[in-house]
Chain A
């Protein structure tokens, strides 16, 4: 049971380059999320998708776009990377109702130079 799979695990970008972080879950969850993790700041929500076909901004959406490709996949795109986007990115998924737990991928460590 793979759970939540993120690719790539590591990436180095130059300022201004673009890239897409991929995320897929095999638990048939309706909701998916992208978080970033920075030292001393915990996890902050970038974008989320409550269900297939919908996406919404989270706490820190600037500089990012997302696509809910289907129920399984939720990608995060950086159109023009900036050093401030150096972070560890986590994808997560959960079921909709009753305070179900969120399941996290292993993370993507992104460095923008």
Chain B
């Protein structure tokens, strides 16, 4: 079945450091890939997405590239801020039709000033 594996946290960084959170997936066919972010006390919100191989999703300085050859969708940001402290979830879903997302376990990011 479909599954998502992401690196365990917490990831602790200083402000302005470079961020990478690894995500790999197993899926049949050609899924869409997502990164969701959960700020403390809130629900999940979509951060970025990519719907086909080699697509790059980007938002708020975060980027992730859909790599079919390595079945990966790693999240990166060049310079993190304290306000980026949150839990990040990698997820996959279907490319068409009804959407039933499969989530990774989440990675907590802590950014200190």
CB pair B99–A42 under 8 Å, yes or no, is no
Q: Which of A40, A99, A105 contacts B94 (CB 8 A)?
A: A99
Interface string of A38-81 (1 = CB under 8 A from B): 00111111001010000000100000000000000000000000
Q: CA separation between A92 and B38, bound complex, in Å? A: 14
Residues of chain B within 8 A of A41, CB atoms compared: 105
Q: CA separation between A99 and B100, bound complex, in Å? A: 10
Interface string of B32-51 (1 = CB under 8 A from A): 10101000011111100101
Chain A interface residue count, CB cutoff 8 Å, equals 28
A26 interface hit (Cβ, 8 Å): no
Given contacts A42-B89, A42-B103, contact A99 B95 (CB under 8 A): yes
Residues of chain B within 8 A of A104, CB atoms compared: 36, 43-45
CB pair B43–A90 under 8 Å, yes or no, is yes
A96 interface hit (Cβ, 8 Å): yes
Chain B interface residue count, CB cutoff 8 Å, equals 26
Which B3-50 residues sit within 8 Å CB-CB of chain A? Answer: 4, 32, 34, 36, 41-46, 49
CB pair A101–B46 under 8 Å, yes or no, is yes
Which B95-113 residues sit within 8 Å CB-CB of chain A? Answer: 95-101, 103-106
Residues of chain A within 8 A of B36, CB atoms compared: 104
Q: CA separation between A46 and B43, bound complex, in Å? A: 17
Would you list the 7 A-B pairs with minimal beta carbon distance, nearest first?
Answer: A104-B43, A99-B32, A42-B105, A101-B46, A42-B103, A43-B103, A104-B44
Some 30 contacts from A to B, beta carbons below 8 A apart, are: A31-B98, A33-B100, A35-B103, A40-B105, A42-B104, A42-B105, A43-B44, A43-B89, A44-B103, A50-B98, A90-B43, A90-B44, A92-B44, A96-B97, A96-B98, A97-B97, A98-B96, A99-B49, A99-B51, A99-B93, A99-B94, A99-B95, A99-B99, A101-B34, A102-B101, A103-B46, A104-B43, A104-B44, A105-B43, A106-B41
7 more CB-based (< 8 A) A-B contacts, given A31-B99, A100-B99, A104-B44:
A43-B101, A96-B99, A97-B97, A103-B46, A104-B45, A106-B41, A107-B43
